[in-house]
Chains A and B, each alone.
Chain A
């Protein structure tokens, strides 16, 4: 593989990543809303934390450092509940929209 071919491959992977990220964030928000509404079990917070973890680890590598940072904050928040199985209280839940908003903006910025 030549340097040009590698660069093309990496550019396509980055474009694919950037394209799918807003949709992934949307799925995460739906998941969160389902848990808060009691339609989904609190164990889904573990899945949500995993999704945030994935973005935290990959965003910067694909040129989206703000997405990594925002996802890391969300992951840190969710980890407190995924491990204990406890549902966030109302005050804690109130902090989540801002976390999602930051992540959504970072994902849509490119």
Chain B
């Protein structure tokens, strides 16, 4: 793994020049390569990655995100937080919206579990579901993907953090509403959320539904990790937009595999073969 702290950069991520970045532009000499300098100029104070890529003349679109990543690492640009309509989390839990999945979504979840390759394993309290998120782009090599672990049990949270960090992920944890909102506000947007259901002042289904209604979070893959193992709970999670559902108690290997499958990675970090169901063995 590279020492550099790489992240997944998305087209709709918004960046602004930092004071260091502005100084770099104003200075009479620069150590930046021409393409990085061009991106700094195109950001022009504040811009999304997609907008910058569309205006870039001499840089391949695929390269722009990598340049953003390097500029971010070098402290020349930073994420713009709390943009209205994009990354505003002030009212995350107060916004009105459906408090449960729609009838149609529940029907689709039932159909999915019954008729597609998605395999529902129910052995007592064990349920393991993981489906690759279609919304995410394949991450570039050497990027550290970030996982937000929402778990109120400090021992489990610590274990998840250690295991996922050991797998090369950047891990943040949150145990209640305030910490969830703080984690989202802090940015950058997590690449995946591991979401417990029973939390002290909210529940994971509510968090999931709020995320799916939020313009900045609706595409973030979510794996429910919970001791709520009833069929109704599983279907509710899937109908609410969960990409995976793992019931506690769980095995570490199962968890790591699910995270990799949902992110489109194999257990060793390469693109997954989606023709194979990881739970069918």
Query: Which residues of A does B touch, CB under 8 Å?
Result: 1, 3, 6, 9-10, 13, 16-17, 20, 50, 53-54, 56-62, 65, 68, 72
Q: What's the minimum C-beta distance from A59 to chain B, rounded to whole angstroms?
A: 7
Seed contacts A3-B166, A50-B198, A61-B248; 9 additional CB < 8 Å A-B pairs: A1-B165, A13-B158, A13-B162, A54-B152, A54-B198, A57-B248, A57-B249, A59-B249, A61-B250
Quick check: A13 and B249 within 8 Å, CB to CB?
A: no
CA distance A53 to B156 in the complex (A): 13
Query: Which residues of B does A touch, CB under 8 Å?
Result: 125, 152-153, 155-156, 158-159, 162-163, 165-166, 198, 226-227, 248-250
Closest to B255 in A: A61
Q: A1-B165, A6-B162 are contacts. A61–B198 as well, Cβ < 8 Å?
A: no
CA distance A10 to B125 in the complex (A): 24
Closest to B159 in A: A13
Quick check: A61 and B227 within 8 Å, CB to CB?
A: no
Quick check: A61 and B159 within 8 Å, CB to CB?
A: yes
Quick check: A58 and B249 within 8 Å, CB to CB?
A: yes
List, in ascending order, chain B residues with CB within 8 A of A57's CB: 153, 156, 226-227, 248-249
Show 11 residue pairs from A and B whose CB-CB distance is below 8 angstroms, ordered by the A residue: A1-B166, A9-B158, A13-B159, A17-B155, A54-B153, A57-B227, A57-B248, A58-B156, A61-B156, A61-B159, A68-B249
CA distance A60 to B254 in the complex (A): 14
Quick check: A60 and B162 within 8 Å, CB to CB?
A: no
Kindly identify which residue among A13, A16, A53 contacts B198, using a CB–CB cutoff of 8 Å: A53
Q: What's the minimum C-beta distance from A43 to chain B, rounded to whole angstroms?
A: 15
CA distance A54 to B162 in the complex (A): 20
Q: What's the minimum C-beta distance from A21 to chain B, rounded to whole angstroms?
A: 9
CA distance A8 to B250 in the complex (A): 20
Most chain A CB inside 10 Å of its own CB: which residue of B153, B159, B163, B227 = B227
CA distance A60 to B155 in the complex (A): 13
Kindly identify which residue among A10, A20, A56, A65 contacts B159, using a CB–CB cutoff of 8 Å: A10
Quick check: B155 and A1 within 8 Å, CB to CB?
A: no
CA distance A62 to B155 in the complex (A): 9
Quick check: A9 and B162 within 8 Å, CB to CB?
A: yes
Closest to B156 in A: A58
Quick check: B155 and A56 within 8 Å, CB to CB?
A: no
CA distance A17 to B166 in the complex (A): 20
List, in ascending order, chain A residues with CB within 8 A of B158's CB: 9, 13
CA distance A61 to B151 in the complex (A): 14
Q: A54-B153, A57-B249, A60-B249 are contacts. A1–B162 as well, Cβ < 8 Å?
A: yes
Closest to B196 in A: A57
CA distance A41 to B7 in the complex (A): 49
Q: What's the minimum C-beta distance from A65 to chain B, rounded to whole angstroms?
A: 8
